């Protein structure tokens, strides 16, 4: 398998940075450190749509290419894989909001949630604060919309907003909680107020970069000034190794900020240029951590590794390919190494056993990101999304927010009547505790 070779001796000169120590890329066989990448990066300053219609545009699109026989085979593999998962909806009677969010990211606004005998639009389900097993992710405090964090809820602050952003949910989409009306814009305000220095801002960066203008400025709840460049500067100096899902989400956040800046037509300067350089260097590093079968290292970005377990490979390859498919150009995505990764993922995802709901609480996250990786790649390289709905019936599908609210209200009345031992939400982690300095 071809390997990208890092060029050495670039003659780069370190500029004044957060530290005075100069770094450079190491030899291909050595591990790359986040500090060396951070230093080098500074050197170059909806809702009534039928189920069969694809509603969400994912990632970058390009003109449809002339397809070679090999590309046609690869496209068919992707379509077969996506179609095999789409009808097996996430079951909200069994899975919690965290799992519902990862079901959402797999198919975006086309995702349907199974509850009882009905299939409800996943965005509407979350925005109507539908119950996932024994939990609801949203609540109201002092008249303000809040999103819970903890087991079964958000795993990270800003995760719900980031899932909405990556699914292209409109900022004015309605949200109803405890009889009070909000919109996604209220979630945006919540995350703006929650920004803190020296904390994980990964998911907040994805959400805010998506919904705000790149030049917007705001104040957090402590009256401190914030903007997207400040968020980039905070994230880029934090480690990749050891961060959420091997650091792939941190790389996605930085990539999201860069892509949105490009879409605005404004130049990549300052922190945006720094982030762009950082991402490009990690592209090269990721490609040299690819296994012979096309999967990416089962040790994330720590070094070359192949555990031999498909579950590990789906987790790492799905996340890494998702980030590469989002942040690379369509031309870069036609690299033979990317072809190998796509072929591996599409084949192994079809081969792994599925339960009756397609995904369970342990594998919905990795599979959700893997499916999104294939959708992003398909859209960027082939200029279209597959008809993964073709085997799904329209029966009992609800794609209207007001109807979804009525269905969920009926569900709640039933739970109240029969008695629900999990009616009260579990205790929450104290909000202020996440802001401790580290």
- The two beta strands, 217-219 and 225-227, are antiparallel
Give residue 172's pLDDT: 96
Cα separation of 185 and 96, whole Å?
A: 24
Give residue 351's pLDDT: 82
Q: Which residues contact 126 (CB under 8 A, 6 or more apart)?
A: 97, 100, 101, 104, 137, 138, 160
Which pair of structure tokens corresponds to residue 149?
A: 């964090």
Give residue 67's pLDDT: 86
Which pair of structure tokens corresponds to residue 218?
A: 């705001």
Q: Which residues contact 397 (CB under 8 A, 6 or more apart)?
A: 51, 112, 118, 119, 120
Give residue 398's pLDDT: 61
User: Where are the alpha helices (H) located in 264-363, listed in sequence order?
Assistant: 270-287, 310-327, 336-351
Each of the 438 residues of the chain gets a pLDDT tens digit; together they read: 443 333 333 333 333 233 333 222 233 334 455 445 444 444 433 333 223 233 334 455 555 667 899 999 999 999 988 888 886 668 888 889 998 999 899 888 888 888 877 888 899 999 999 988 889 999 999 999 999 999 989 999 999 999 999 999 999 999 999 999 999 999 999 999 999 999 999 999 999 999 999 999 999 999 999 999 999 999 999 999 999 999 999 999 999 999 999 999 999 999 999 999 999 999 999 999 999 999 999 999 999 999 999 999 999 999 999 999 999 999 999 999 999 999 999 999 988 766 544 555 568 899 999 999 999 999 999 987 667 665 555 555 665 566 656 656 555 554 454 444 444 444 433 322 222 222
Domain ranges (residues) in the chain: 34-416
Contact at 8 Å (CB) between 233 and 208?
no
Element housing 184 (H / E): helix 184-194
Cα separation of 186 and 262, whole Å?
A: 26
Give residue 86's pLDDT: 80
DSSP state of 153: S
């Amino acid at each position: 398998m071809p390997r990208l070779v890092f060029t050495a001796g670039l003659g780069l000169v370190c500029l004044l940075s957060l530290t005075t120590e100069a770094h450079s890329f190491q030899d291909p066989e050595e591990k790359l450190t986040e500090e060396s990448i951070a230093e080098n990066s500074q050197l170059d300053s909806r809702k009534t749509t039928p189920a069969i219609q694809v509603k969400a545009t994912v990632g970058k699109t390009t003109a449809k290419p002339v397809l070679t026989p090999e590309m046609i085979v690869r496209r068919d593999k992707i379509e077969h894989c996506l179609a095999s998962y789409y009808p097996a909806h996430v079951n909200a009677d069994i899975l919690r909001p965290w799992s519902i969010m990862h079901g959402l990211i797999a198919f975006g606004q086309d995702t349907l949630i199974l509850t009882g005998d009905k299939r409800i639009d996943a965005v509407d389900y979350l925005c109507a604060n539908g119950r996932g097993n024994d939990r609801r992710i949203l609540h109201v405090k002092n008249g303000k919309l809040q999103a819970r964090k903890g087991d079964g809820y958000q795993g990270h602050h800003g995760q719900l907003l980031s899932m909405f952003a990556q699914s292209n949910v409109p900022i004015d989409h309605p949200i109803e909680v405890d009889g009070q009306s909000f919109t996604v814009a209220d979630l945006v305000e919540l995350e703006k107020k929650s920004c803190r220095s020296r904390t994980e801002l990964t998911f907040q960066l994805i959400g805010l970069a998506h919904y705000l203008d790149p030049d917007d400025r705001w104040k957090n709840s402590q009256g401190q000034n914030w903007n997207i460049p400040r968020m980039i500067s905070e994230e880029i100096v934090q480690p990749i190794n050891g961060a959420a899902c091997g650091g792939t989400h941190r790389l996605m956040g930085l990539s999201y900020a860069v892509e949105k800046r490009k879409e605005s037509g404004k130049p990549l300067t300052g922190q945006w240029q720094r982030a762009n350089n950082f991402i490009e260097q990690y592209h090269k590093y990721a490609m040299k951590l690819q296994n012979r079968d096309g999967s990416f290292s089962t040790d994330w970005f720590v070094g070359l590794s192949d555990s031999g377990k498909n579950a590990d490979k789906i987790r790492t390859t799905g996340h890494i390919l998702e980030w590469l498919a989002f942040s690379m150009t369509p031309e870069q995505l036609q690299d033979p190494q990317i072809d190998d990764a796509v072929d591996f993922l599409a084949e192994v995802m079809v081969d792994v056993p599925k339960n009756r709901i397609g995904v369970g609480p342990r594998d919905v996250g990795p599979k959700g990101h893997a499916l999104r990786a294939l959708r992003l790649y398909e859209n960027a390289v082939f200029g279209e999304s597959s008809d993964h709905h073709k085997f799904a019936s329209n029966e009992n599908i609800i794609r209207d927010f007001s109807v979804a609210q009525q269905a969920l209200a009926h569900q709640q009345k039933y739970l109240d009547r029969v008695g629900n031992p999990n009616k009260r939400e579990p205790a929450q982690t104290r909000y202020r505790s996440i802001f401790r300095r580290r």
